[in-house]
Amino acid sequence: MQVDIADSGSLGKRVSISWSSDEVRSRREQVLRKLGNQVKMPGFRPGKSTLGVVEKRFGAEATAKAEEELASEAFSQVVGEHKLKPIGPIANEGMARDAGLRLTFAFEVRPPIVLPDPTSLAITRDESKVDDAQIDEALNSLARRAGQLADLAAGETLQADDSITLTGKVSSDGQLARELHDFHHLLGAYPLLGKKPEEIIEMVKGKAVGAALAFDTTLPESFAPKEFAGKPARVEVTVQKAQRVAAAAIDDELAKKMGMGDLAALKEALRANLLRNRENELHQRQIDELVTDLVAKTDVTLPPKLLEQLTRARIDAAIQRAKDQSKSAAEIESAGKDAEADAAKQAGEQLKRHIVISAIVDQNQVTVTREDLDHQIRMAAQRSGQSPDAVAKRLSESGKINDVVAEIREAKALEVFLDLALGKTPAVSTGPDCTVEHVHGPDCNH
């Protein structure tokens, strides 16, 4: 096997690999022997057919299979030995079968970059804490949820979260649009017949059961009868009834309802839960800050052809969305032009982020283990209510399994770099032990 590697523009490579006739013939014979052992031929016991018989039936298939094996093995070998890092599509630019086999591939490679010192990145370093006031707030919330609805006492006025029952009518353009009987509404939770929640809350201030309310509004599109939907209307109603949740007492009984032994245990459980939530929020903020500052501080030369492809893909996606929405030809054209304005910038940001994170993966030898992949599949199975085997099969058949591997690898890389930025020893395992770099399937680009 002979290899020729040449530059092809900025970050472009053209690789030509050639095999002698003897090498091709030897590999083809290997394939034929495998086929002979695997298939049953008429008149022969399994695995006992002659090479000539197999040749007559599977000759073309053996040629294609041999060339495919040689190409795949050689390409992987060349990329590894010459430390090439392909990015984007790999184009087959030609094949010649004179005096053996010669294949030519063209692709772009990831640019060499220098990552900034992790400790130089602007990342929030606060310590997550939970104070007594937050515990009390959580307890009060639990007590409200554990409480029961009760009618408002005489003299009590309406407020947010009260459940009210209304009677009255809705008129539009002098016509009766709808009579309201036992019409229920939760104050402040959502609009009332098109009137904003905050406006309704302001309207009922100081009012009690029996109060009359009147206001102008634009009826929602969901209003029935449909003929009045979206039209201006006048609403006149009376508050027939109002109920409010009476919070449960904050004591050992409440704790027992929540599965705790006593109030002290409930408080500790709330503290632990709140602290865990604060830590998760802080961690996500740190990851976001890490990515933003890391990408901003890293100089990257973007592969021009891949950038052009990603830009075009964004524009095409915008045009397709307009078509799917049955837009007019003028609107579809406008959608494409609008997308052009930001497509290159967005594609560049996406590509730069990918290259930077890939550099972290390489620098820190971040890998995805079978355990990582299985864990992700189990999590997806729990969320979807399917079995892990069903999820794995669906991902494999749809060609999405490698997207999952890439997402896991990216997440692990960011965890490693965040630990380094915070001066910690990376908690994420790295190295080649039982790794999953690629799962062959419909999304293979080779």
Domain shared by 78 and 161, yes or no:
no
**In sequence order, what DSSP letters do the residues of 194-249 get, joined into one string?**
TB-HHHHHHHHTT--TT-EEEEEEE--TT-SSGGGTTSEEEEEEEEEEEEEEEPPP
**Is 254 in contact with 145 (CB distance < 8 Å)?**
no
What's the structural domain count of the chain? 2
| 346-375 pLDDT per residue, tens | 999 999 999 999 999 999 999 999 999 999
- Within a domain: residue 105? yes
| 114-165 pLDDT per residue, tens | 999 999 999 998 888 999 999 999 999 999 999 999 999 988 999 999 999 9
**In sequence order, what DSSP letters do the residues of 362-376 get, joined into one string?**
HHHT---BHHHHHHH
- Within a domain: residue 56? yes
**Is 389 in contact with 446 (CB distance < 8 Å)?**
no
Report pLDDT for 34.
84
Domain shared by 240 and 176, yes or no:
yes
**Is 426 in contact with 366 (CB distance < 8 Å)?**
no
Report pLDDT for 316.
96
| Residue 56 tokens, joined | 């007559």
Among 192, 197, 204, 119, which residue's Cα sits nearest to residue 157? Answer: 204
Least confident of 44-58, 272-286, 430-444: 430-444
Single-letter residue type at 401: I
- Within a domain: residue 397? no
Domain shared by 162 and 235, yes or no:
yes
Domain shared by 22 and 90, yes or no:
yes
The residues facing 7 across adjacent strands are: 13
**Torsional sign, CA 414, 420, 424, 430:** positive
Read off φ and ψ for residue 187, nearest 5 degrees. Answer: -60, 125
- Within a domain: residue 79? yes
Domain shared by 89 and 16, yes or no:
yes
CATH label of the domain that carries residue 104 = 3.30.70.1050
Q: How confident is the model at residue 248 (pLDDT cuts 50, 70, 90)?
A: very high
- Within a domain: residue 65? yes
Say which residue the tokens 């705790």 belong to: 260
Report pLDDT for 318.
94
Report pLDDT for 53.
61
Domain shared by 33 and 103, yes or no:
yes
**Distance of alpha carbon 215 from the chain centroid:** 44
Among 79, 71, 70, which residue's Cα sits nearest to residue 107? Answer: 79
| 299-351 pLDDT per residue, tens | 999 999 999 999 999 999 999 999 999 999 999 999 999 999 899 999 999 99
Inform me whether the pLDDT recorded for 41 exceeds 60: no
332-341 long-range contacts, Cβ below 8 Å, gap at least 24? Answer: 339/314, 339/315, 340/315
Which structural domain, as residue segments, surrounds residue 46? 2-109
- Within a domain: residue 405? no
Q: Domain boundary at 218, 246, 274, which? A: 246
- Within a domain: residue 215? yes
- Within a domain: residue 64? yes
For residue 318, give every residue at least 6 positions away whose Cβ sits within 8 Å of its Cβ, in sequence order, or none: 335, 336, 338, 339, 343
For residue 18, give every residue at least 6 positions away whose Cβ sits within 8 Å of its Cβ, in sequence order, or none: 1, 2, 100, 101, 102, 103
Q: Could you give the percent of the chain with pLDDT greater than 90?
A: 81
Domain shared by 98 and 155, yes or no:
no
Domain shared by 74 and 167, yes or no:
no
Domain shared by 104 and 54, yes or no:
yes
| 48-63 pLDDT per residue, tens | 555 666 677 678 888 8
The C-alpha R_g of the chain, in whole angstroms, comes to 34
Classify the phi-psi angles of 290: left when phi > 0, otherwise alpha if psi is within -120 to 50, otherwise beta: alpha
Q: Domain boundary at 85, 109, 133, which? A: 109
CATH label of the domain that carries residue 185 = 3.10.50.40
Q: Domain boundary at 187, 219, 246, which? A: 246
How many Å apart are CA 100 and CA 250, to the nearest integer?
85
Among 405, 419, 406, which residue's Cα sits nearest to residue 364? Answer: 419
Domain shared by 6 and 98, yes or no:
yes
Inform me whether the pLDDT recorded for 206 exceeds 90: yes
Mean pLDDT of 59-81: 90
Report pLDDT for 440.
39
Mean pLDDT of 255-259: 95
Report pLDDT for 49.
55
Taking each helix axis as running N to C, give the angle between helix 263-297 and helix 132-146, from 0 to 180 degrees, rounded to the nearest 10. Answer: 120
